[in-house]
Amino acid sequence: MASSTLAYRFRTAGRALLGIGGVVAIALFTIVALAFSSADFLQFLSWCAIFFIALWLARPLSGRAFAGDIVSFLSANLVIWIFLMISGAVFIHNQTTASAAKGNVDQSAIYQALSWVLSLSALGIISIFRPAYLRLLFTGPLKWASIFAIVAVLSSFISPKPMYSLTLAFKLCLIVVTLCAIGEGIDDEDGVYRFYVALFVAMLIVVLTEFIRPMLGPDPFAGGRLGAMIGLSGTCGVLLLLSVLFLWLKKNPWFLVCALFSVLVMMLAGTKGGMVASFVSLMMFFFFLKSPAQALLASLVFSVIFVLALLLTPLGRSLQKYTEAGSASTLTGRTDLWTATWPSIKSHFVLGNGYRASRFLSAEVPGAFAEAGNMHNSFLEVLYNNGLAGLIPIVMINLLIVFNLKDPILRPKTPRQRYFAAAALALFTHLFVWGIVAATFGGAPDERFMMFFAVLVISMFLRGQSDEKYWNRIYGRVRS
């Protein structure tokens, strides 16, 4: 009786504290907004408001959550995960290498960093009531993500711009900690389903944002492509795979609309590596499900949209310029970039040049093309930035994802497990193939790298569902 009374008082005090804190936060935000009102700042406040509302709906400080309820814990952490995934798209900033090298900081970059601090604050409050997940940081497959984050932090001090690198390393560490919390919160197939829902929502917001923003400008197709986001076609491919997964699971035509929309934006964006990776991974998804008829239908629809885009959009002119320029032999200058940077990679083979030092390689490496921004290859990106110390954990994560998904693909326990495993392996295939010509993982902690980490956590659960010993070794708790 005494313990239940104490728990009741604890919950009541927590709710009161949350209410008071909410009122104070709203008051402070209102005062600051009136004092420093600008379009960027009001946008920041709007997204913060959405974040707080989503957290409130997740009820991380409800009575059940105080009692250690895993559903509320997972929901709150998925809200944080979505907020981190979309931060790069909603707080977008474009800056030249020369400007970044001088230490100039765009206002949107500050708001993006503040959104990470806000996410950390929310994660800290949630973790007070269920801190056990922190043990996953250095156990099982997730230890490789933690090791890579540590290497990123330590190598930031040798980067050309240490503060820039440390800021991104901070987000990377926050992502890894949130990833462990999500891994702790996934206790059954419904947890995996909710994780996929969160990934779908995040990618839909990213693609919609990158589609709408240029449409509001004077020239949506500047340079022959839609928008300014590098690799938008590949990002659309991720949304396409998630839409097809939910179309299979829910049979809801809404997801068909999302899939067709993602293909349309993919063609308008016109990035070749992303389109190729999207088509390959979509075919692999149906191959893993042993559905050749659906694969044929999907390839026909994909091809029809591609032909229409060639005839009716700037995509045709963009590909024609690409062919006439003779860029195919060098993959649009990528092979020249890799050749130019290889001496620097060899001379810093163990620790690299510093986390995200590749952001400045156009200014640091003779022969690198202008505004390269990264190595345009996932594994070379890691080697250039973090050397062998960073490459080992990234390679281990790649191998573990494939190994973990082998049994769920070949011998699934349930139909949903098979769908989840096929989608996870298709997403991995997409990131891997796209990663040949883009830094999809191992570089900037953007939505692509986060998707790579998400696939790792999903693969861990699916393997644990098939392997009791593995589950006990990794999670150390009874399955639901």
Residues contacting 214, CB < 8 A, separation 6+? 220, 221, 222, 226, 227, 228
Rounded to whole angstroms, the Cα distance separating 397 from 392 reads 9
Rounded to whole angstroms, the Cα distance separating 238 from 199 reads 9
Rounded to whole angstroms, the Cα distance separating 383 from 133 reads 30
Rounded to 10 degrees, the C-alpha dihedral 265/259/79/177 comes to -80
Rounded to whole angstroms, the Cα distance separating 36 from 215 reads 28
Length of the chain: 480
Residue 374 DSSP one-character state: S
Whole-structure pTM value: 0.89
C-alpha to C-alpha distances, 216 to 221, 231, 247, 261, 264, nearest whole angstrom: 11, 20, 31, 18, 18
Ramachandran quadrant class, 94 (left: phi over 0; alpha: psi -120 to 50; beta: rest): beta
Q: Among 293, 176, 281, 290, which Cα is nearest to 233's?
A: 281
| Residue 237 · residue 262 · CB < 8 Å | yes
- HSE at residue 169, side-chain half, CA atoms within 13 A, is 26
Residues contacting 304, CB < 8 A, separation 6+? none
What is the sign of the dihedral through the CA atoms of 437, 440, 441 and 442? positive
Question: What is the model's pLDDT at position 400?
Answer: 97
- HSE at residue 302, side-chain half, CA atoms within 13 A, is 22
Q: Among 86, 108, 83, which Cα is nearest to 207's?
A: 86
Classified as helix, coil or strand, 188 is coil
Rounded to whole angstroms, the Cα distance separating 367 from 329 reads 17
SS (H, E, C) 57-81: HHCCCCHHHHCCCHHHHHHHHHHHH
Rounded to whole angstroms, the Cα distance separating 434 from 227 reads 19
Q: Among 171, 282, 258, which Cα is nearest to 207's?
A: 258
Question: What is the model's pLDDT at position 241?
Answer: 97
Rounded to whole angstroms, the Cα distance separating 34 from 45 reads 12
pLDDT in single tens digits along all 480 residues of the chain: 455 555 555 455 555 555 555 555 555 555 555 555 667 777 888 888 888 888 888 765 554 544 447 888 899 999 999 999 999 888 876 777 777 767 777 777 888 999 999 999 999 988 887 888 888 899 889 999 999 999 999 999 999 999 999 999 999 999 999 999 999 899 889 999 999 999 999 999 999 998 988 887 777 776 667 766 568 899 999 999 999 999 999 999 999 999 999 999 998 888 888 999 999 999 999 999 999 998 999 899 888 988 888 887 777 777 777 666 555 656 677 888 999 999 999 999 999 999 999 999 888 888 777 778 899 999 999 999 999 999 999 999 999 999 999 999 998 988 899 999 999 999 999 999 999 999 999 999 999 999 999 999 999 999 998 888 888 888 766 555
